[in-house]
Chains A and B, each alone.
Chain A
């Protein structure tokens, strides 16, 4: 169960010492119109100040080495839309104009990055730069599977993460293309390990194969109700619907969230269109909207409640990125093609938080009742 001590001691030290709690849950749905929908929540112990980044094709980017030097350089082939963090040109969750999407998920205690060498420095990027690199360069999951062999992810701190100089984000990545094919990419023992992810679910530690094996502990669960049981002359009946799920773990640890996310997304009845599936995905992810105060992180300084900062859904058919935030639960959307066209070749941002109150006052919308009082 416990991994070998990481060889990348620098990153390990930075990750362990000061990391705030950070949990995420990812699910996938497929609509009857063929659209693949990938959705996720993002939790963090402090505000990530995320906004939507619009990145046109043809932009120059470079990886950052731990000493601040330049690593891998590339020119983006595809236009990208997604959430950034801390003002960085980085993608925590988003998609490109080929219908490929990526999500960064926290992977504390397990992520171990490659030490920089003179040989690999020109192929190196930071963990927080991985998402944009994937979306800027590839169209399908199979391409990513090949592409990750050519790079190394090195322990470069993300500026502003936890402190001004930042710290190394212990992360793993979930990638899905427009056919619905999915992989989890995990930096383990200094290399990038690729796991097939046919159920489309992702949470956090431990590693992806552990979670998939753990599902065998829950094959008794069913969305169907349970009828009466006769025990001798005694009949025992369920209190209500839902008894088929008795044993489903309700806590917010990564293994328990993984099991719930598999159950809810697999039980979801088919949705006709991509938009129906997006709305269903938001309903499912409501289950992972951690109530403020129910998970308290006391790892660093004052105990802080972990909250779901935002929830997003990627429509890989129509190339749309949807989101809602903790402050405003109404659903908002960015259409990649429209946004990129309006950006006119520039990298631009769309604010995720607005000033308006997220409540519709309908007090005066009274209509005559069809039925008078009885």
Chain B
């Protein structure tokens, strides 16, 4: 269960640093009828990530950053990409491109092991937080990403503002519904097929998939009554088939719940309905403020879901809600990039909850008059 000591001592030191804030995420993929694919995820962090939606148009010059601040890989983005950023950076933490490819970075503490920079690999190198821009800026399908990851290395460059190397792994899904997980292990990028589309955090993806076998007893269906020596026992309420489902917020327990909820879901008729279902499912991972407290570094911080996103890969729409504003917002990539006119732009992620006042919106014709009294 305990991994071998990392050979990359530098990274390990960063990843285990007592100041690293806790950070959990849950990722699912839903497939609607007629082939529409929606990928949704939550993002938790104990300190505000100040996220907005950043639009990065095709033709933008982007480059990797080396640990010493030098320039790594350089490329010109081939596709329009949009997604949630952090701290005002033109960096996509979670988003999609105009080819229907979607990407999310999720925290991978204690397990992410990046490559050391060498003169040989520096020109292929980028920081862990820059990987999303590279994926969405260059590729259209999961197969393309799979082939290309061997060409790049992720090096332990600190993240701006946070000033630490973020231990990350990545979820990628394309418009056909094919999903992969990419994990930096032993300095290399390991790619796993992800047929269930679910991802959380530590440990490695293969461990989570094996762990699912501990829960094959779970069922969405009601349990029929049984009789033991004349004593009849029946379920107390609906949902007994799921007894044993773990309810805590550790990554392995969230992984199990996400698989169960995403795959129990009735297929939606349209992509938009799948998006709304995705937000309902992600409600299960909207960590109640105060229920998960990080006490590392001598300070107690509540970990909470700062935002939740859903990417509609068919209609190229990026949906989001924030902790402060639970209403669902959407940007249509085609419209947003038309409005951005080739520049890097941001759309604000609202954090103020509007509440609609219905106090006097009475039903016309006063139907209550006919109600039984």
Contacts and interface: CB of A to CB of B under 8 A. Distances in A.
B236 A254 contact: yes
A349 B356 contact: no
Interface residues of B, number: 112
B367 A349 contact: yes
Interface string A35-64: 000000000000000011110000111100
Given A235-B2, A253-B243, A269-B289, 5 more contacts: A246-B248, A267-B288, A349-B371, A351-B361, A374-B63
Given A282-B326, A366-B336, A264 B291 contact: yes
Given A239-B202, A279-B353, A293-B220, A338 B348 contact: no
12 contacts: A242-B292, A246-B248, A251-B245, A253-B239, A253-B240, A253-B242, A279-B353, A280-B289, A292-B266, A348-B362, A359-B319, A374-B89
A111 B151 CA distance: 67
Query: By CB atoms of chain B within 10 A, which of A251, A269, A326 has the most?
Result: A251
Contacts of B281: 291
B257 interface: yes
Contacts of A205: 236-237
B163 to A, nearest CB: 16
A88 B367 CA distance: 11
A292 B277 contact: yes
B251 interface: yes
A368 B203 CA distance: 39
B293 A223 contact: yes
Contact of B294 (A22, A225, A282): A225
Given A242-B249, A251-B247, A289-B280, A89 B372 contact: yes
B340 interface: yes
Contacts of B197: none
Interface in A86-121: 87-89, 106, 108-109
Contacts of B277: 291-292
B155 to A, nearest CB: 15
Query: By CB atoms of chain B within 10 A, which of A282, A283, A343 has the most?
Result: A283
Interface string B26-55: 000000000000000000001000000011
Interface string B269-292: 000100011011101101011111
Nearest to A333: B355
A237 B110 contact: yes
A344 to B, nearest CB: 10
B345 A368 contact: yes
Contact of B54 (A282, A331, A334, A369): A369
Given A51-B363, A267-B291, A369-B90, A289 B247 contact: no
A223 to B, nearest CB: 5
Interface in A322-339: 322, 326, 329-335, 338-339
B366 interface: yes
A217 interface: no
